[in-house]
Each structure stands twice: as structure tokens, then as C-alpha cells.
Amino acid sequence: MTHVFSAVLPVDPSKTLSSVTLPSGTTGGDLHVFSIGTSTTAQSGPIVTSVEPGPANPGDVVTIHGSGFGASQGKGYVAFSDNNTNWGRPGNSATFHINSWSDTAITFTVPTPSGSNGQFHVAPGSTAMVTVVDDAGDMSDTAALDIAASANLADYYDNTGISNDGDTSCQADYDGDGFSYSAQALADAGANPGGTVTVDGLNYTWPSAASCQPDNILAAGQKILVHGAAGATKLGFLGSSGNGSAQGPVTVTYTDGTSDTSQMFFGDWAQAASNGNITALTMPYRNSQGGTSQGITMFIFAEEIPLDSSKTVASITLPMIADHVSSNTSTHIFSITTES
């Protein structure tokens, strides 16, 4: 059985709608829109007017303001989604806690990491989606809640892309097909956990995560705080893409509040450098979840974008490529640095 759904969003009735901007990325699948319409009839059922405070951290208590939620929760729930994980909906395994419920306000706790290896976690610098479903099953509009950014790259690790040669059957999966970098081959190439990899004069810190643990960031629109070096002339990334090459806009925000946007490109991890990428590491094989290795030349690339050296970087926002691995292209970041 297949379905076509209707999503209703509130607008200001005192104004006239002139345009809408569709989202640039989705969580967990692809969005298809067949038609858009408007109505002068007031929206019925639960209506969300705001979610605050934000940005929020895991463990913070957040309030959903609105109307029509119902005096008590009953069979109602809050659907909370972020980083390709869904909380709150009946049957979801990720832990989610509602603190209070009234007709006009619901409070809940932003989820803290749960599940094995903390795989159920909100992503710093991302935007979570919040929807209320009342006791009768009526669904509200969806509201956004910004998750506070962090300067610790490990907080953003949401993919396991490195496995140990002695344990290739672990859940490392870089490309959606069950392949991963070999920890031993990376070490032979000069990338040791917590060590330094130097490329084109830039010093990168290699992830210190043990193999078969989350060790890289999927480029999915996250905002990342950066302790930028004063006078830095370029911003460097170590990474690659799975299932083809990909590019997208990186926004650099400086401490004075101004920002610049540049294109970030990463080639496929099993193809030679192209389009300005610099070969950082080369390995002779990769591992498979099937317990074997595949003899194929693998790469880690460095990508550099120019900076305004008269300013200091405060944060960056990654492009929205993919928030999970699949047969589609995904871009993975292992390290970020700024130096003059």
C-alpha cells in the first residue's frame, strides 16, 4: 500500500503569501511535492506556534507552545527527529521523555545519547524537527528547534568508517555497502588515532576514536564552532565521499559576524584526486563487513578554501549532502583546521 500525505503549515492571515522556499535537505528519505495550495479556513487540530528556548543542548527542557494539544496526553505524543534518528513516536527505540502536557504547552527533554555506542543522539549545530500528535491522532504543523553547536568534532561523529583488520565484521559502513577504511592501512599511511596528519602545510588532528566507533562527520548542514587562528589564509578539511564525488556550499562565519560562502568538493574515496583535491593518504585496500578485505586503492583527500586573513573564523556550516549512508553519495569529514 502506498500513500500521499497532506502537510498543513500556519501562515499570518493578516498578510498575503508571495512565495515558499522548500527545504534543501531531508532526514531519512526524499521529499516529493505534487501540489501547493492555500486556504482562508483556520487550521484545526493541534497547532505549534513556537518551540523554545533554542538553541538547545541534550538534556535541556524545552517547551512547545501552541493550542489544541488536549488537556492530557492520552495516546498523544511528540515526534522529535534529528540526525536521521526519530524519537517519541510509538515503537521508536530511542529514549524520549515528555515532562508535562496541557492544551497550550508541552515540555520535553532534548534527548541525551542512548543505544549502543550512543547511536541515538542529536547532532550539534543541526536543526531538529518537532511535531505534536494529539490523543485523536491529529497531527500539528512541524516546528524547528536548533541544536547548539560545539567546537569538539567528536560531538559530531555520526558515521563509523574505520574498522580493524581483525574485526572487519563490525558495523563500520562508509558507503552504505558495508565497506570501510582499514585502521592498519591508515596507520601505515601516517594516520594514527589522535595523531597529526600534515598536508600542504596544514596540520590536521586525526580522530582518536577506536576502530569500529563513530569517527567521521557526514556533511549534512551542521554548524560547527571553530577556534580559528588569527591571520589564517585557508580553511582545510580532510575527508572523501562515498558512492561518487559531491560538492556543496560551506559558509564561514567570522567573529565580527560577517560570513563568506565557498564550494567544498570531495572526490570518491576509491578514485584519484580531482577538482582541486589534494591526496592526503593512500591505502592499498579496504575492509568489508563480510569479514574480508578488497584490494583497491583508497584515498583520503584534503580540500582547502580561502579565508579573509584580516578576520578570525568563529564557525562553519557544512553543505547538506547526506545525513546517512546509502546507495546515494555521502561526504565524510575526518578533520578541520585553519592555519596561516
Model confidence pLDDT, tens digit, residues 5-24: 556 666 767 777 778 777 65
Model confidence pLDDT, tens digit, residues 193-213: 999 999 999 999 999 987 788
For residues 231 and 267, membership in a common domain is answered with: yes
For residues 84 and 216, membership in a common domain is answered with: no
Structure confidence at residue 3 as a pLDDT band (50, 70, 90): very low
pLDDT over threshold 80, residue 281: yes
For residues 213 and 139, membership in a common domain is answered with: no
Model confidence pLDDT, tens digit, residues 126-137: 999 999 999 999
For residues 136 and 165, membership in a common domain is answered with: no
For residues 102 and 163, membership in a common domain is answered with: no
Model confidence pLDDT, tens digit, residues 290-335: 889 999 999 999 999 999 999 999 999 999 999 899 999 999 999 9
For residues 257 and 295, membership in a common domain is answered with: yes
Structure confidence at residue 28 as a pLDDT band (50, 70, 90): very low
For residues 67 and 169, membership in a common domain is answered with: no
Residue 233 lies in a domain: yes
Structure confidence at residue 186 as a pLDDT band (50, 70, 90): very high
User: Can you give the residue range of the structural domain that contains 312?
Assistant: 153-339
Q: Are 114 and 139 in contact (CB under 8 A)?
A: no
User: Residue 63's beta-bridge partner residues?
Assistant: 52, 107
Q: Are 281 and 262 in contact (CB under 8 A)?
A: no
For residues 225 and 106, membership in a common domain is answered with: no
User: Residue 67's beta-bridge partner residues?
Assistant: 47
The separation between CA 340 and the C-alpha centre of its own chain, rounded to angstroms, equals 28
Provide the pLDDT for residue 236. Answer: 97
* Between 84 and 290, residue with greater pLDDT: 290
Residue 5 lies in a domain: no
Cell numbers placing 97:
521523555
Structure confidence at residue 41 as a pLDDT band (50, 70, 90): low
The amino acid that residue 272 corresponds to is: A
Domain boundary among 93, 117, 146: 146
pLDDT over threshold 70, residue 226: yes
Rounded to an integer, the average pLDDT of 130-159 is 94
Average pLDDT value over all residues in the chain:
90
Q: Are 9 and 33 in contact (CB under 8 A)?
A: no
Rounded to an integer, the average pLDDT of 79-86 is 88
Residue 12 lies in a domain: no
Provide the pLDDT for residue 167. Answer: 82
d(C-alpha 178, C-alpha 192), whole Å: 22
For residues 127 and 216, membership in a common domain is answered with: no
Please enumerate in sequence order all residues whose Cβ is within 8 A of that of 191, keeping only pairs 6 or more positions apart, or say none.
197, 206, 281, 300
For residues 186 and 335, membership in a common domain is answered with: yes
Number of domains within the chain:
2
Q: Give the max Cα distance, the chain.
A: 66
pTM of the model: 0.80
Domain boundary among 146, 163, 185: 146
Residue 280 lies in a domain: yes
Q: What is the dihedral of CA 308, 195, 150, 334, to 10 degrees?
A: 80
Residue 34 lies in a domain: no
Look at residues 58, 75, 118 and name the one whose alpha carbon lies nearest to residue 94: 118
Domain boundary among 89, 116, 146: 146
For residues 167 and 278, membership in a common domain is answered with: yes
Rounded to an integer, the average pLDDT of 103-126 is 86
Q: Are 142 and 129 in contact (CB under 8 A)?
A: yes
- CATH number of the domain where residue 76 is located: 2.60.40.10
Q: Are 213 and 160 in contact (CB under 8 A)?
A: yes
Please enumerate in sequence order all residues whose Cβ is within 8 A of that of 337, keeping only pairs 6 or more positions apart, or say none.
202, 203, 204, 205, 235, 236
Provide the pLDDT for residue 27. Answer: 46
Look at residues 89, 74, 94 and name the one whose alpha carbon lies nearest to residue 131: 89
Provide the pLDDT for residue 8. Answer: 62
Q: Are 165 and 118 in contact (CB under 8 A)?
A: no
Residue 38 lies in a domain: no
For residues 126 and 226, membership in a common domain is answered with: no
Cell numbers placing 144:
524547528
Question: What's the angle, vertex CA 196, arms to CA 194 and CA 202, rounded to 5?
Answer: 140
Rounded to an integer, the average pLDDT of 35-40 is 74
Residue 10 lies in a domain: no
Provide the pLDDT for residue 1. Answer: 41
Residue 27 lies in a domain: no
Rounded to an integer, the average pLDDT of 67-84 is 93
